[in-house]
Structure 1
């Protein structure tokens, strides 16, 4: 039986079997996440089709996920500790807590930036590098994202609102149990992430409205052109050339729009899965005190770091092609050695 949180004799901790479950889950997430996100970065670097402005932000998202996955072994060390203390110097635990929180904040800020870029590209009919849609400007956005994320995580503890360190109850490097303002810090983090997700959904809502309006205008224009052609008294040769030119226009326009829409659908799927992973943990923001569900909510939140490469591999044709090429290339030397 777990110790009562009100026990005056000894600070409570979660039952060890819950920690073992968390260790197994986090170990699996770390392995899959490190492999998958490294594959995403390597694919963008080695595949010309993937060197787009949007994928600069996708790579930045993968870097944040790699940092999260790299911190999980240190979390596992804390979960396995039965002494009530972090087995490594606690300054390491505070750093891991800061890295994990910064990576989550950076991920959600990336989703806002990706949503904005998709809205800008689609609504402005941008093709190529124009306006803010240039590598230099996106690099500036990436820098701002990291500076903002680090500031949002570091400044509150510096002001005494929460302390990054080892939580004896959960066995995690997060917020220390000793700071009475820890709940305020958690609520602040939750408010930042929720605000960012609302902004992201707003951009995708604007994209949807623009696409619906554009399709309606296109259908109306095509219907008017077709009606005018049927009532015209032009020669058969002119009719044929006019019909050919009009028949060739819609597929071209449709292809351009379809490509951008498919990219937008893929990144919106990433947003939806992040929200699902975050909701499991955000419910605990509203529950004061210590709770077992917080540990399992944390595991679900960390799972977001490994699902993005899976989405790209299943839904993005260019990433699918790059993944197969890289994995097959690595497999062939092994086959030659075995033969």
Structure 2
């Protein structure tokens, strides 16, 4: 037995286990991740629930990403409990919980990867006004997409276990519930199944987005003198519905996701040259989210493939799970509509929530739900 004097926590040390100081540091990172990530992702889900302004393909995919991150944050404290337990041989909870935690963490990370890839496809099709956008991102197909985003990582995680290529459970070396295989056959299956397709999709999509925005900026620079406004689209941005009205067309471009407006051939080139500032802001926000995810997850994915990576595994795992609490911070500081909704929620100004949902109207119509003074100001 060794005791970390500064925290007065008794930590067991087995022959091949990671040092107790390292385990304590990782366990504390897990605790911080769980608290910050739980609160932040609740805000994201609540924001989508109360404002219809976020009810579009991009907003719903972000909500799905928040659900995956929230579930991962709920699983993280179980790792901390195992790391700080005085028993080296088993976690301080039943094996069923341990196995469930191990599977759900992998599935949630995989779901996040594939969700970010689909968001990338969504942004490319939206910004380019491609006809496939109207076909792919309808309500019915969006439900199937979300189901697939969970089913694919679940199959990649569970099928190899059923085939005897690996297992999940308590790893006494790292003191966590995770996947196990010797040699790293199962780890390699997870890394290859979860990473290459989403990574390639993300790189291709955001490179295409960069090309589209650069081309748009070049056209706007040629069309407008330096002392004139950037574009007619910017001058006609409607802050209430996020739509940019084009002066020489009867159509409008939705700043987030114009899933209802037709995309006819006669207006395709005209709309394509009028990308709104809101679309650019939201796309940049999502690029920050993708960049943070890649930075946090890639080291762990590499460790899964490298045989002699065990010393770095606890730190790369903590970095990977820490990503679950980063996204809400990015939304709160960079996303124009989430920032607005978050401000209303934090200040309890529910009457200022843009396009309140039926759920919010019903909730505020009950005086016993919220003691806020401005409840009566919401139009129902």
Q: TM-score, normalization: structure 1?
A: 0.81
Per-residue displacement from partner, 1:241-300 (whole Å, max 9, x unpaired)? Answer: xxxxxx857845687432212111111110000011013323423431462311011111
Aligned partner of 2:189 in structure 1 is 188
Aligned partner of 1:120 in structure 2 is 125
Equivalents in 1 of 2:161, 2:203: separation in Å?
A: 30
Among 202, 208, 211, the alignment partner of 1:209 is 211
In the alignment, is residue 21 of structure 1 matched against residue 40 of structure 2? no
Q: 1:205 to 1:334 in 2, by over 3 A?
A: same
Greater Rg, structure 1 or structure 2? 1
Q: 1:250 to 1:61 in 2, by over 3 A?
A: closer
Equivalents in 1 of 2:42, 2:149: separation in Å?
A: 20
Q: How well do the aligned residues superpose, as a CA RMSD in angstroms?
A: 2.9
- The size of the alignment, in residue pairs, is 302
Per-residue displacement from partner, 1:151-171 (whole Å, max 9, x unpaired)? Answer: 011011111112111110000
Per-residue displacement from partner, 1:134-153 (whole Å, max 9, x unpaired)? Answer: 22221110011111111011
Equivalents in 2 of 1:204, 1:108: separation in Å?
A: 14
Q: Alpha-carbon deviation of 1:112?
A: 0.6
Q: Alpha-carbon deviation of 1:198?
A: 1.7
Q: TM-score, normalization: structure 2?
A: 0.72
Q: Alpha-carbon deviation of 1:50?
A: 1.7
Per-residue displacement from partner, 1:191-229 (whole Å, max 9, x unpaired)? Answer: 231331121111111122233334445555x38xx9xxx
Q: 1:18 to 1:333 in 2, by over 3 A?
A: farther
Among 93, 101, 104, the alignment partner of 2:98 is 93
Unmatched segments (≥5 aa) in structure 1: 3-9, 227-246
Equivalents in 1 of 2:198, 2:82: separation in Å?
A: 30
Equivalents in 2 of 1:280, 1:56: separation in Å?
A: 28
Correspondence list, 1:91-240, <5 A = 91-124=96-129, 130-176=134-180, 179-181=181-183, 183-191=184-192, 192-217=194-219, 222=223
Q: Give the helix-richer structure, 1 or 2.
A: 1
Equivalents in 2 of 1:153, 1:122: separation in Å?
A: 34
Among 282, 295, 316, the alignment partner of 1:276 is 295
